Amino acid sequence: MRDRVRAVIRVNRYSIRTEKTYWYWIRYFIRFHQMKHPREMGPREVNEFLTWLAVNRNVAAATQAQALNALVFLYDKVLDKPLGEIGDVVRSKKPRRLPVVLTHEEAMRIISQLGEPNKLIASLMYGSGLRVTEACRLRIKDLEFQQRVITVRDGKGAKDRTTLMPATLVGPLQDHVESIRIAWKQRGEKFAHPVSLPFALARKYPNAGQALEWQWLFSSPSLSTDNLGHVSRHHRHISSVQRAVRNAVKEAGIGKRAGCHTFRHTFATELLKRGNDIRTVQDLLGHADLRTTQIYTHVLGQGFAGVRSPLG
């Protein structure tokens, strides 16, 4: 079952994180029904599982929806047995919380606690609104210094987008790229193996993995081996960046539960606070729905139609 799920997911070019998430919920569903094969189950069993998640596990609405998406994918794409109508499911009532947002000064205090390259990665998350995965996956070819543009490849939802490159990061990014270029020309030990490439590009362009433009901006210090036994260098693992940011938050004494994604929230609120159009912010963040971006107007306390408190 796992091999079939993996094969269909990769044919449809879903991300590795989606593959792991979907398999987690499919396995959870099977175990919930005492290892019964999904072909022997249907809408009723899916309804029972989703209702149990809401009532007994008290999961968030987004988590319940994620589980449903995984099971719809299983029956529709893998088993070729669409679920159809699953009946009335008890919906999770757990409310959506407003995101934690930092002030500009707090964001800079956290960034100042970081060492390289995590300091540069955090600066990109705050200055360009990148997710931590997007920042770690940047390649040299994704930076356009003359136009000050960063291209995000295969972002959330398998979409590409462009975002701004902060003027204060042009110099540090150019220095970082130049250090990679010098080491690449000298063919040091770090470049003895090719970098990992998406999809079938390694077969289509055999030398691309050794080309300078395809080098990771933030490469992993260790090598990786894929399912076929090919050794390559992957990008910096996001968990190492997340751990470093959590430690920096503690050292900065911010007093907020902040992490990597908090920089992205802060990027959005700072742009709106400075009078930028919400649709422009939506494009920079890569949100498909404007309502997702509008959550930041609530964080700012806007939309009160000029009403003032009785205390002034």
* List 153, 193, 261, 273, catalytic entry: 261
141 in active site: no
| Domain-wise residue ranges, the chain | 2-78, 104-297
d(CA 67, CA 79): 17
The encoded tokens of residue 96 equal 């959506």
104 in active site: no
* List 22, 75, 126, 296, catalytic entry: 296
**Which of 21-25, 61-65, 196-200 ranks highest by mean pLDDT?**
21-25
273 in active site: no
* List 22, 75, 131, 235, catalytic entry: 131
Q: What's this model's pTM, rounded to 2 decimal places?
A: 0.78
Mean pLDDT, rounded, for 187-202: 76
CA-based angle 17:20:25, to the nearest 5? Answer: 125
The answer to whether the CB of 215 falls within 8 A of the CB of 196 is no
d(CA 256, CA 123): 19
131 in active site: yes
* List 94, 156, 243, 273, catalytic entry: 156
Summarize pLDDT for 257-276 with one digit per residue, the tens: 999 999 999 999 999 888 88
* List 137, 236, 264, 265, catalytic entry: 264
Say whether pLDDT at 66 is over 90. Answer: yes
296 in active site: yes
Alpha-carbon torsion angle 306, 307, 309, 310, nearest 10: 120
Lowest mean pLDDT among 57-61, 89-93, 221-225: 89-93
Please tell me the predicted confidence (pLDDT) of residue 133: 93
pLDDT tier at 309, thresholds 50, 70, 90: low
From the list 145, 144, 102, the residue with the least C-alpha distance to 122 is 102
Which CATH architecture is the domain 2-78 placed in? Orthogonal Bundle (1.10)
d(CA 284, CA 292): 13
Fold designation for 104-297: hpI Integrase; Chain A (1.10.443)
Alpha-carbon torsion angle 134, 138, 141, 147, nearest 10: 60
Report how far apart, in Å, the C-alpha atoms of 287 and of each of 108, 130, 291, 293 are: 25, 12, 9, 7
Domains 2-78 and 104-297 share a fold: no
